[in-house]
Structure 1
Amino acid sequence: MKTRRPLTPEEVDESQRLKAIYEQKKAAAKAAGRSLTQAEVADACGWSGQSAFSQYATGKVPLNVEALLKLSKALGFAPGEVSPRLMEGIAFPKDEPGPQDLQPIQAWDDRTPLDEHEVEVPFLREIELSAGSGRFGIEEDDGSRLRFDKKDLRANGVQFDQAKCVTVRGNSMLPVLRDGAIVGINTGRTSITDVTDGDLYALNHNGQLRVKQIFRQPGGIRLRSFNRDEHPDEDYTFQRMHDEEISILGHVFWWAMFAR
């Protein structure tokens, strides 16, 4: 088994400075009424989960130039504050801003105007239908919105007006999606013929919002949970889909959740 080399004293100091900057930014965010988690920082750096950031901040892994530049952009600090060693001899073109000139994560709320490059994406929610039928349906939530960068939606082939968000409930999609995770769905992909086997999709199951992997089968579909020990596969013929009012709401193109 490959063992990691111990960090040098200088590398240990760098990780401690990084951790101190994060704690400072976290405290400032809390004072402003918002959060700044390690998972959010990792996501801003393009890393999956909080562990990558944690390894740098706790000195398990030494910083490198690429990671330092990503972290400086995400947290809004000059990279030389953390590691003059790594930044020695690195120059940025005069017509391009260095990481120290980039803006930190910005807070926003429902009253913050949209930038030109942003779009607000509504949530879908379960509602009880009127007339005391005891049945449920799905509609847009008038109050909840998330902001997405238009270029990110374009890059994923999502039309702005066809982007919606859904909240995942339950433990069926653990360990990938926790209870309360939010997924973005492309409502432009709702046909069985649009299904890519194994991809995630949001479904309307007789008024219940569900997020599952879908696999096409002769004469129907298979729904699969990541937590297959507690939630076995579900097979539905097209006739049963019709009888149980199962329809595809959209293809999942994005998700986010707190690492708790």
Structure 2
Amino acid sequence: MRADDSLQNAFKDTKEIRRIRLKEWFSGRTIPEEEKSYISQLINGKASFGEKAARRLEHDYGMPIGYLDLMRESSIPPKSEWGTVAAWDSNTALSEDEVEVPFLRDIEFACGDGRIQDDDYNGFKLRFSKSTLRKVGANTDGSGVLCFPVTGDSMEPMIPDGTTVAVDTNNKRIVDGKIYAIAQEGGGNDKLKRIKQLYRKPGGIVVIHSFNRDADEEAYESELEIIGRVFWYSVLI
């Protein structure tokens, strides 16, 4: 596949995620009369769902910044997909559309090249469908994908403490408003690893944004290690 084809497909996937998330947001909520037609067209794919439209809707309807662009595990699938319950454990064979990826105890043990530090990894894994990985542009064999729990409240209310996130360590290109696992020098021998929303500024500067009221930080892109882009999260409510 050519590079321009890959980017075009990724853009299409982003718009599809936005439609799904917008539909989820307004499930059980009242849509203002003056926006009903427009929002219906967005959800049904009949209107362009670009960056400007997504950020405007997030602002106007009180969504966390970036809410429409991030996939979330759905606890209840569409009715058309209901069927028999299939129980599984670590001994259950993978289906043809499933792969397993490592589940770490903490972000501190994630490496930017997809490796896992031996002193953490205990063999725990999470399962993803290949179609989900394909939709976000990750490798469908699961290589380069890591999962771990988020610690702290800096990304609340969208990503609360204890949320499990999935990171594609092969995707390090900064796109404004997307969420990434990052590493910075922390003043000692160890690097400070966190989940943050990133924006680029002229001069090679990156704005590091938290969803709560913490002040934004800035760092030179050359001093910032991108572990990977967060593309999925799951949280108990």
TM-score with structure 1 length normalisation?
Answer: 0.52
Q: Which residue of 2 aligns with 1:253?
A: 231
Measured against aligned partners, the alpha-carbon deviations of 1:113-145 in whole angstroms (never above 9, x if no partner) come to 212211001134325xxxxxxxxx973623221
Query: 1:212 maps to what in 2?
Result: 196
Cα shift readout 1:154-186 (whole Å, capped 9, x = no counterpart): 111101202111311100001100101011111
> What letter corresponds to residue 103 of structure 1 in structure 2?
T
Partners of 2:89 and 2:160 in 1: how far apart? 24
**Against the structure 1 CA distance between its residues 158 and 215, is the aligned structure 2 distance closer, same or farther, given a 3 Å change threshold?**
same
Q: For 1:151, what is the secondary structure of its paired residue?
A: helix
Aligned amino acid, residue 253 of structure 1: F
Among candidates 135, 143, 160, match of residue 155 of structure 1: 135
Match of 1:70 in 2: 78
Aligned residue number for residue 93 of structure 1: none
Residues of 2 paired with 1:111 and 1:207: CA distance?
36
**How do 1:53-64 residues align onto structure 2 when only pairs under 5 Å count?**
none
Match of 2:181 in 1: 202
Task: Select which of 152, 164, 177 maps to 2:146.
Answer: 164
Identical-residue share of aligned pairs (%)? 35
Alpha-carbon offset, residue 72 of structure 1: 7.1
Partner of 1:118: 98
Structure 1 distance, partners of 2:165, 2:92, is 23
Distance 1:143 1:167 in 2: 15
In the alignment, the residues of structure 1 paired with residue 144 and residue 218 of structure 2 have an alpha-carbon distance, to the nearest angstrom, of: 28
Deviations 1:47-94 (A, max 9, x none): 748x958xxxxxxxxxxxxxx9934744xxxxxxxxxxxxxxxxxxxx
- Once residues 220 and 69 of structure 1 are traced to their aligned partners in structure 2, the CA distance between those partners, rounded to angstroms, is 41
The CA RMSD over aligned residues, in Å, is 3.0
How many residues matched?
A: 154
In 2, Cα distance between equivalents of 1:115 and 1:224: 39
The match for 1:237 is 220
2:210 match:
225
3-state SS in 2 of match to 1:142: coil
Query: Aligned AA for 1:202?
Result: A
Choose from 103, 112, 115 the match for 2:84: 103
| Structure 1 residues 196 and 114, CA gap change in structure 2 (3 angstroms) | same
Letter in 2 for 1:198: G
Unaligned runs of 5+ in 1: 1-44, 54-67, 75-101, 128-136
CA distance in structure 1 between the aligned counterparts of 2:89 and 2:207, rounded to whole angstroms: 40
State the one-letter code of the partner of 2:197: Q
* TM-score, normalization by structure 2: 0.56
| Alignment partners' CA distance in 1, 2:101 and 2:77 | 30
2:42 matched residue in structure 1: none
1:189 aligns with 2:164: no
In 2, Cα distance between equivalents of 1:169 and 1:73:
33
Q: Secondary structure at the match of 1:154?
A: helix
The CA deviation at 1:252 is 1.0
- C-alpha separation between the residues in 2 aligned to 1:115 and 1:162? 20
CA distance in 2 between counterparts of 1:156 and 1:70 reads: 20
- Does structure 2 conserve the Cα–Cα contact (< 8 Å) formed by 1:138 and 1:208? no
Residues in 2 aligned to 1:138 and 1:221: alpha-carbon distance in whole angstroms:
26
Describe the SS at the equivalent of 1:158: coil
Larger Rg computed on CA atoms: 1
